[in-house]
Amino acid sequence: MESHRGTPEQRLKELADQASVEALGLDEHVWRHSGPHKNRMITGVVDHTRPPRDANGKTKPFARLLDVQVGRSGAVAEEWLASQGRDFTSKIRIAAIDPYRGYANAISATLKEADMVVDIFHVTKLASQALDEVRRRVQQDTLGRRGHAKDPLYRARRLLLTGANHLTEKMATKLDALLQEGDPNWEVTITWTVYQKLIDAYQQSDSHDMVTLIDALKDCPIPEVARLGRTLKSWKREILAYWHTDRSNAGPTEAINNVIETTRRIARGFRNFDNYRLRILASASGQRPYRQPPKPVRKGQPNHAE
């Protein structure tokens, strides 16, 4: 098996020399679960640059880890981006993040020519959280307690978070009956409609439906929905960037996070950050080390390698 040698800095330079980076993602990750709290989180930088399209106009999924730094803050991200130099930052055209102002401020300060995109999953999650909060509040207001197994809104909690296009006729009928029984003022129903409209807006070819939805939510009398509207409005430009960046999102970053977590689990955790950094740079670089395939062993034949 080919071994990965060298310092993290040498590995990083090797990665940076392979190709120019035109799109990247920033995200946090837990690298250890003990020690000082401020040192448990890392900021990861992932290359999202898409390979050239094939004859059918499609590209293969691709992502690679560029580097990680201890800490989860805008200052950590800004320092790393600034340290790469103008030649690196001037080529970045797209930066995908979750709705965290620290990373947004770092990108605004260092990647002035890049389009910032808030990830579709995190935007949808904000709407689902608002829906769940309304359900819990209405449940408390109408019953005077938290939900029990036989309460209508508690029974509807999973159906409420299912996309309308995935509801069968039986499921839709059940959901309607539960809402009629447990939602007397239609607050849960209205919030569910908002959630479904948000999901549907992301399926459209342009951002018209999303613009209309964001502009309307701030005037909703349901406090949780109005708060959602204010949050979406504050990120409106970054949300709408999804459509003019060829539907960019943080999917590649999450894929790299899975590789990082798998590497950490195989190693049974790390105590030394430099070793951790070098290991995950090797594992999530977009390359795979060559392994000599094992020779087949016939049934009943002794394995002399044992």
Q: Which CATH number fits domain 8-119+249-283: 3.40.50, 1.10.3470, 3.30.70, 3.30.420?
A: 3.30.420
For residue 48, pLDDT over 60 is answered with yes
Residue ranges covered by each domain of the chain? 8-119+249-283, 121-236
* Residue of 56 and 267 predicted with greater confidence: 267
Mean pLDDT over 262-279 rounds to 90
Contact 112, 91 (CB under 8 A): no
Name the nearest CA neighbour of 217 among 235, 191, 188, 240.
191
Write out the two tokens for 204: 């459209």
pLDDT at residue 110, as a whole number: 95
145-161 pLDDT, tens digit per residue, is: 988 999 999 999 999 99
pLDDT at residue 186, as a whole number: 96
3-state secondary structure of 195: helix
Residue 137 carries which side chain, given as an amino acid letter? Answer: R
H-run or E-run covering 256:
helix 251-266
84-88, long-range: CB within 8 Å, 24+ apart, which pairs?
A: 84/16, 88/16, 88/21
pLDDT at residue 9, as a whole number: 60
Residue 192 carries which side chain, given as an amino acid letter? Answer: W
Among 43-52, 163-172, 185-194, 240-249, the range scoring the smallest mean pLDDT is: 43-52
Contact 116, 238 (CB under 8 A): yes
For residue 293, pLDDT over 70 is answered with no
* Full 3-state SS string of 65-88: EEEEEECCCHHHHHHHHHHCCHHH
Is 40 exposed, middle or buried, given 0-12, 13-18 or 19+ CB atoms closer than 10 A? middle
Confirm whether pTM is higher than 0.85.
no
pLDDT at residue 3, as a whole number: 43
For residue 216, pLDDT over 70 is answered with yes
Using CA atoms, how far apart are residues 199 and 201, in angstroms rounded to an integer? 6
